[in-house]
Every structure is written in C-alpha cells, then in structure tokens.
Structure 1
Amino acid sequence: MKNRLACAVLLALSGIGSANVAPPPPSTTPSAGDADIIVRGKREREAEIKGFIDALAPSRFSGQLARFSTEACPGVLGLVPAQSAAVVARLRRIGEAVGVPLAKAGCKPNVWLVVTTDRAALAAKVRGSWKSGPDGRPDPGRSTDLATVLHAERLLDANRQEIGVKVDAGDGDGGYYQSEIFTSNRIRPSATRTYAASALIVEPRTLEGLTTLQLADYAAMRLFARADPARLGPAAPPSILAALAAPVGSELPESVTQWDVAFLKALYRSDDRSYANAQKDEMQSIIRKEITGQDKAPKPRR
C-alpha cells in the first residue's frame, strides 16, 4: 500500500505451419532492411542518450559540471522520524551505488531534504547562511511551484585542495572570480567545481500520492546533481524526476529508473577535471554501456 506522505508530513510539522513439417530455424543474419533498421535504431538511441545528458547537465561548451567531490552527508527535516530515517538510508544507498563520496553515519548533514509550509522563507534563510558561512555561496537556485533547489559550490585545485569560494560575478550562470590564478589549458581547466552542500525544499501539498521511496529517489536526483525536471521533454526516457509534477493518480516509476541511475553513475564516474564537452562525451559512453551494454557508438553512415 502506498504510504501517503502528505498526512505524515503535516503530523510531523505539527508535532504456427503444418503439424508434420518443422518450421525453418530463425535466421541469425539480419537482412539488409533489418540491418538498416537496427543501425538507425542505435543512432536514435545515441541521440536519446545525448539529449538526456544535455537536459540534466546543462553547461556551456567550455564550462564545467559540478558534483560532490568531498563527502556528502544526507539529512531530512519535516518528516516523521521513521520516514526521515528511511529517506536518509535510501539517499545513502543510491549515493553509494553511483559513486557519491559519503561521510560516515552520524555525520553533520550537508545534503538536505526539507519539507516545510514556508518554502520561500526557508530558501532565503539558506541562501543567507551559505553566503556568509563556511559552505560558500549557493547559486541562485531554481524555484518553481513545486520545489526549490540550492547548491553551494567550492573550487578545488589539481590536488583536490580548496582554492576559493564561488562568488557571483554578475556574468550569468556559472560566472565567478577566483582569488588565485592557476594555469589551465585546452584539455583541463585550472580548477574543478564541487558541491559543498545542497538543499531540496518542498511543501507538504506537493507530496500527495508519493511513497517514501519515490520522494527519496526524486531527492537523490535533485541533490546529488543539478537535474532539473523542467528540462526533460515529453519524449524523454522515463525518470523519477516526473514525480512531483505528475497529477495525483497518474502512473509513475516506483523508484529511480535505469536511466536515472545511469546518469548519476556517469556524472560521478567520469573525469570532472575536464571541460564539460569532454566530460559529457565520457558520460555518454558510460550511459550507453549501462543502457545498451554496448561500449562503442554506431559508426556514422557513409
């Protein structure tokens, strides 16, 4: 039976051929027409993979993709204790499976799922505390009718040592200045971007009809990556990211999908010391292997 989260949250916030003739064996060699269909199908899958990456990891060509390079510690506020524990355990399980570095149990949380009736006020408070606190300054975040997501970033040098805190330079998405200057080249940037903290803030009304598992898995996609459901088109592969926006009673994945897991694995197992275009090429190979079992992309048509 589905566990209705909304009620629990409110409680927490308030305290065939002839019979004689054997059929011929199936051909093991596809006809020319079949082969063409297979090749076209593979190409379409490649485009699908690339589109999924571009939607969930938007970046400029020479930009960078951020992820947790230092230990992440999930925490939950606004759910009853049993559900909070279940969500934390699920976040840790997903993180471990895809390669997110995790702190030991009992750590101080820096990856927060918060359920509150005053989302705007809490988001403003988080922005303020991260701006002046040790976690650096968050990006402006993305706030919709359903959720607010924030990520605080830091910069690491080639030895994974912190070299500065991201500061909004007024240059648009991803603009920042550094206090130190390091040598970069066409292959590798001078520093890598890492999350110092992240927060997903939702209201109880958005959780109606969701199970604890669905909420936790949705949170994993939003907290461990900057995956925005609004960027996924109607023809996109199945994803738990549709959970909050889907009408109550509609069919949803029961958990993270194969595509979701493949994306997170690709983000955390690819080389983040590269520019986004190179890292995305590596991510495409990882997702292809996860989804199709194939190591190489189909050869282009001559």
Structure 2
Amino acid sequence: MFAASAASAQEARTATPAEEDKIVVTGQSEQPSSSEVSRQARSITQGGNFRRSALARFERRLCPGVIGLTPDMAALVIDRIRFNAAELGLGLTEDDGSCTPNLVVAFVKDGQAELNALAKDHGYMFNSLELHEKRALLAETGPVRVFTSTLERTRDGMPIARNEGGDPPVAQMWMAHSKIYLATREDIEFVMVMFDLEKLKGKTLVQLADYATMRGLARTKPVDEDGQPLDTILALFDQDGAPTDELTSFDRAYLASVYDSIPNLPGSVRLMGVNRQLELQAAAEERAARNQR
C-alpha cells in the first residue's frame, strides 16, 4: 500500500500541464445501505415479532466467570469480557472473585453431553425456554452452545410469572398509553456459553472472549460469513470464511443499540438503531483522527 502511494505521489510531481487538468477518481468499496444493515441485524437476532417484544439484555450487574481453563487464561477471557461490557456502559460487579457469575464461559470436552446432563439434573434452569427452544438447544451439534435464561418483567422491574399451562404472561399495571414503549422488558438472568475444546484449533482467547460477549450479552445466533454485508465475530466458526480477530464495528454497534436507552423499547427500534450506532462510531473515529493530526 505504501509503495503504491509513493508511486502515485511521484507521478503527480512529474505530471505535465495537460495531465494536471485531468480529474482522477479514486474508488472506495461500496458501503452497505441502512436497510442491509438492519437486515443483517435481524438475521443474527433470535426470536421474532420484534415490534411487540423487547430484545433481552442484562439489567443486573455483570459477573463473568470461566470454567475449564488455567487461571491465567481464564483471567484473560474474563478481563476481555469485562472490558467489552464496560465499553457498552454495563454495570459490573467488583473484580475480586467474590460475585456469583451470571455469564459463564465453559470450555468442555463434549458440550452436548454436558448440557443434556445439566437439563436432566437441573431441569428447572430451562424453564424460561419454550419447548422447541429447549429441544433445539439440546440437539445442537455445532462447536458452541449458548443457554440463556431470561425473565420477563414490567417496565419497572417487577417479575411477571408465566401462567401454568404455558399461557403467555399477563401484566396488570397503571401506565400511560404509548406507541413507542412496551409495557414489559426481557431481562437476561443467566447465560452459559459452552465451547467444545476440540473445535477451537486456531482460535485466540480474544476471539473466543469476543464471541462469548456477542452471544452472551444479547440473544444472537451464529452466521456464515457469505452473504453478510458487514463482518461479524458471529462467523468465527464458519469453516469457509476468514474470521475476524475481534468484535467488529457492526458487532459493537449492534450491542450498543441493544443497551442504548431504556430496556422496554421494541426490538424493531433496537435493530434499526444499529445504523445510528455505526454513524456515531464513524464520527468518533473521524474526530480522533483529526485530533492526531
């Protein structure tokens, strides 16, 4: 790249007057449209009916923990997740080892066997999942399994108990009518991200910590790199792609939108907000570049 720049500069210094009148157009890769960004945001998000439901997110202070690594390696993963969360403005517990982890990253020999054993011995932990979600999770054959336990609450944080028989929960409260906000929110109570050790060849701890961040702080799903207009860490295990080294601009914008403002905004607002977060990132990078000149 530098060689090409130097050659261009030399050509400019030796140009003839006639050549100086020419207009040189330099091209840039076409940026994805706002609709393409929103479509990608929807494609990585679990769930549906985003206009009438909120995207799940942590409201309690985050306490990440790691199972299956040496203390030094575990500390690196925890520090990276805490750094990512702090960048988003999430509340964090004291980093003194005294908290009970609510985001657990486990490195195991056989994630499917471990998760099925957990479901057998501690089935109550899966009560927040729909039956089809539980079946899909326990049947997952990929290198990563993510179990997310959520609790629906009123906008003020009161838990909403699910009726027996699987009927949708009903909240009764006084509130002003609004077409912008929802009456309820979806809180992430606990997350376990399970990596199969044998499937991690060639992956760095930063990549794995960032992948766990993207899967743990929001209800997302893995994607293939092909067909995505923007790079994402969620394609880390795409065998035909070139994985990114860390969270991408899109990933950070997605999480920033999920954790922006109040928790009971419709999911559709969050997904469209990824565009705004990308614009804010670009503006911040431009300001930083100007300050370094």
TM bracket (short chain): 0.7 to 0.9
Aligned AA for 1:255?
Answer: E
Which of the numbers 60, 70, 79 marks the counterpart of 2:69? 79
Cα distance, 1:78 vs structure 2: 0.9
> How far apart, CA to CA, are the structure 1 residues paired with 2:252 and 2:118?
28
Q: Which runs of 5+ in 1 are unaligned?
A: 1-15, 295-302
Question: How far does the alpha carbon of each residue in 1:223-278 deviate from its partner, in whole angstroms, 9 at most, with x for none?
Answer: 1111211376533311122222336xx63211111221111111111443122223
Could you tell me whether the CA contact under 8 Å between 1:136 and 1:166 is conserved in 2? no
Give yes or no for the alignment of 1:221 onto 2:214. Answer: yes
* SS, match of residue 101 in structure 1: coil
> How far apart, CA to CA, are the structure 2 residues paired with 1:169 and 1:284?
40
The equivalent of 1:56 in structure 2 is: 44
* SS, match of residue 269 in structure 1: coil
Over aligned residues, Cα RMSD in angstroms? 3.4
Aligned AA for 1:257?
Answer: T
> How far apart, CA to CA, are the structure 2 residues paired with 1:108 and 1:186?
38
Aligned AA for 1:50?
Answer: S
Say if 1:92 and 1:128 are closer, same or farther in 2 by CA, change over 3 A: farther
Question: How far does the alpha carbon of each residue in 1:14-49 deviate from its partner, in whole angstroms, 9 at most, with x for none?
Answer: xx476563824969xx9xxx9xx99xx56x421221
Q: Which runs of 5+ in 2 are unaligned?
A: 1-10, 286-293
Say if 1:75 and 1:153 are closer, same or farther in 2 by CA, change over 3 A: same
Give yes or no for the alignment of 1:254 onto 2:245. Answer: yes
The equivalent of 2:102 in structure 1 is: 110
Which of the numbers 243, 257, 266 marks the counterpart of 1:266? 257
Say if 1:291 and 1:46 are closer, same or farther in 2 by CA, change over 3 A: farther
The equivalent of 2:160 in structure 1 is: 164
Cα distance, 1:181 vs structure 2: 2.3
Could you tell me whether the CA contact under 8 Å between 1:147 and 1:203 is conserved in 2? yes
Which of the numbers 198, 201, 207 marks the counterpart of 1:208? 201
Give yes or no for the alignment of 1:288 onto 2:279. Answer: yes
Cα distance, 1:76 vs structure 2: 0.6
Say if 1:57 and 1:111 are closer, same or farther in 2 by CA, change over 3 A: same
The equivalent of 2:81 in structure 1 is: 91
Aligned AA for 1:261?
Answer: R
> How far apart, CA to CA, are the structure 1 residues paired with 2:118 and 2:261?
30
Cα distance, 1:118 vs structure 2: 2.9
The equivalent of 1:145 in structure 2 is: 142
Question: How far does the alpha carbon of each residue in 1:56-110 deviate from its partner, in whole angstroms, 9 at most, with x for none?
Answer: 2243132221111111110110112211111001000011112332222121101
Q: TM-score, normalised by structure 1?
A: 0.73
Say if 1:62 and 1:230 are closer, same or farther in 2 by CA, change over 3 A: same
Q: TM-score, normalised by structure 2?
A: 0.75
Say if 1:20 and 1:94 are closer, same or farther in 2 by CA, change over 3 A: same
Aligned AA for 2:35?
Answer: A
Aligned AA for 1:162?
Answer: M
The equivalent of 1:154 in structure 2 is: 151
Question: How far does the alpha carbon of each residue in 1:147-194 deviate from its partner, in whole angstroms, 9 at most, with x for none?
Answer: 1111111123232x23235679658xxxx424x423565332221111
Could you tell me whether the CA contact under 8 Å between 1:154 and 1:166 is conserved in 2? no
Aligned AA for 2:195?
Answer: V
> How many positions carry a matched residue from both structures?
260
